[in-house]
Amino acid sequence: MQSQTLDTTQIKSSLSQQYKKIRQASEALCQPLKTEDYVVQPAAFVSPPKWNLAHVTWFFETFILKKHLPSYQEHNPQFAYFFNSYYESLGNRTFRAHRGNMTRPSTEEVYAYRAYVDKYMMEFLNSAELTEEQKDLVELGIHHEQQHQELLLTDLKYILANNPLFPAYLPPNTENIDLGKTAQIPSLTFTDFEEGLHSIGYEGADFHFDNEKGIHKVFLHAFRIANRLITNAEYMAFMDEGGYQNFAYWLSPAWEWVKNEQIEAPLYWHKIKDTWHQYTLQGLQRVNPDAPITHISYYEADAYATWAGKRLATEFEWEVACKQLNPEIPTNAVFQESVQLSPQPETSPKPCFYGNVWEWTNSAYLPYPYYQKAPGALGEYNGKFMINQMVLRGGSCVTPMSHIRPTYRNFFHTHERWQFTGIRLAEHVL
């Protein structure tokens, strides 16, 4: 508990600095947008950028200012209706699929709302002796905004990729384009782990979510896990061998999905004159064979592993391997801060379990032993989603680095692809 050695002024200063930094980062990410880009919602799972910007603000207003700053006057009582995401405890809200039809409040008004809340948050952070609960809430709000920074980028990618003009969000990265100069990708090897009992879950005093809390013991049979992610070249071999046409590699609902949705390649891939291209935040580019495969569903990750004669790791195997192989986040890990916003080839021989792409695991998203939902609206943060989703680990190229931990549990449905998702193989030691 190093924070106990700090005096309260330092904590407050640190929290208010963190707050400012995060809030500025969200707005910096929106710099390249046109006003029109802030508004639309081409699929129900996508939120309009201006909604993301306002929702994280609403979170600070609702859970902190309205409850803990007595002098605070709500910016606009109607905004709660627009910017509540899924908190049933907090009353009616816009039906999710309609967010993209709301032209007002305008983007300008949303920025004004942010400034208003920021002003009072700084007043709150600077004026008072914060209680532990209040500090926890501010920290939660900060990590919540980080989650929405990632969503903002993945949603924006979906919005722009959906446009036949394929507009770029970032200027093209010239290095990326020289695909002739193949990187040296180490060959695919596996590290063995012996069977045994392991401690799983977060232990410590720093910020963490309730879903990873609860250190508990898990017995693992001997397994081995890949030292790197599967590359586009490797995935294209699966495609070339008819992976999308052969039911034998697919789970039953996966095969229905492939047929009903006519899936033939990862999301954002387009075959142009016999060459696979993919939409990236730098625009449409040739697929880099050395970069990790991404924008694939659990179904595709599982089918690839079956085709390769392996399987995905469980989230427990993944966590044990991560903690052992990467006690610290490697300096070359590809996160939002590295500004590429696309997965990068893993040229280092040293394994890296962080960033680049979220790694699908073969574990269902379920509560850990002893898991307890928090009381009230914050109890809806994680617990109510613990069904029919699979766990992903490690973070991606659009996750803020400071947001991630070895115990961090992300979760998506088995058919979802708009996050930066990828594959790390594993198998049992027989």
User: Is there binding between residue 253 and a second copy (CB under 8 A)?
Assistant: yes
The sign of the dihedral angle between the CA atoms of 267, 271, 276, 278 is negative
CA distance 266 to 276: 10
| Per-residue contact flags (x/-) with a second copy for residues 375 to 394, judged by CB under 8 A | -----x---xxxxx------
Stretch that binds a second copy, among 5-13, 97-105, 144-152, 178-186 (CB under 8 A): 97-105
Indicate the Cα dihedral angle 332, 335, 336, 341, nearest 10°.
90
- Rule CB under 8 A: choose which of 15, 53, 160, 329 binds a second copy: 160
Cis peptide before 105 (omega within 30 of 0): yes
| Per-residue contact flags (x/-) with a second copy for residues 102 to 141, judged by CB under 8 A | xxxxxx----------------------------------
Here the tokens at position 199 are 């401690």
Looking at the DSSP bridge assignments, the partners of residue 285 are: 278
User: Is there binding between residue 5 and a second copy (CB under 8 A)?
Assistant: no
User: Is there binding between residue 82 and a second copy (CB under 8 A)?
Assistant: yes
User: Is there binding between residue 78 and a second copy (CB under 8 A)?
Assistant: yes
**Helix (H, G, I), strand (E, B), or coil: what is residue 2?**
helix
What single letter denotes the amino acid at residue 87? Y
The sign of the dihedral angle between the CA atoms of 241, 275, 289, 399 is negative
User: Is there binding between residue 36 and a second copy (CB under 8 A)?
Assistant: yes
Q: Are strands 216-220 and 196-200 parallel, antiparallel or unpaired?
A: antiparallel
User: Is there binding between residue 268 and a second copy (CB under 8 A)?
Assistant: no
Cβ(148)–Cβ(55) below 8 Å: yes
User: Is there binding between residue 217 and a second copy (CB under 8 A)?
Assistant: yes
Could you identify the residue written with the tokens 């180490």?
A: 186
Select 307 or 335, whichever has its Cβ closest to a second copy.
307
CA distance 137 to 117: 15
User: Is there binding between residue 242 and a second copy (CB under 8 A)?
Assistant: no
Select 9 or 78, whichever has its Cβ closest to a second copy.
78
User: Is there binding between residue 24 and a second copy (CB under 8 A)?
Assistant: no
What single letter denotes the amino acid at residue 113? Y
Stretch that binds a second copy, among 8-16, 21-29, 92-100, 322-330 (CB under 8 A): 92-100
Across the chain, which distance is largest between two alpha carbons, in Å? Answer: 66
User: Is there binding between residue 147 and a second copy (CB under 8 A)?
Assistant: no
Q: Are strands 283-286 and 311-312 parallel, antiparallel or unpaired?
A: unpaired
User: Is there binding between residue 248 and a second copy (CB under 8 A)?
Assistant: yes
User: Is there binding between residue 302 and a second copy (CB under 8 A)?
Assistant: yes
Q: Please, what is the minimum distance in Å from the beta carbon of residue 118 to a second copy?
A: 22
**Helix (H, G, I), strand (E, B), or coil: what is residue 368?**
coil
Q: Please, what is the minimum distance in Å from the beta carbon of residue 297 to a second copy?
A: 11
End-to-end CA distance of the chain: 42
Write phi, then psi, for 361 (nearest 5 degrees).
Answer: -110, 165
User: Is there binding between residue 250 and a second copy (CB under 8 A)?
Assistant: yes
- Rule CB under 8 A: choose which of 112, 364, 378, 401 binds a second copy: 364
**Number of Cβ within a 10 Å radius of residue 378:** 17
User: Is there binding between residue 34 and a second copy (CB under 8 A)?
Assistant: yes
**Helix (H, G, I), strand (E, B), or coil: what is residue 190?**
strand
User: Is there binding between residue 361 and a second copy (CB under 8 A)?
Assistant: no
Could you identify the residue written with the tokens 């720093």?
A: 206
Q: Please, what is the minimum distance in Å from the beta carbon of residue 23 to a second copy?
A: 22
The interface with a second copy within residues 399-428 (CB under 8 A) comprises: 414, 428
Residues that bind a second copy (CB under 8 A): 34-42, 50, 78, 81-82, 86, 88-89, 94, 98, 100-107, 159-160, 162-165, 167, 195, 197, 216-219, 221, 247-248, 250-255, 298, 302, 311, 362-364, 366-367, 369-370, 380, 384-388, 414, 428, 430
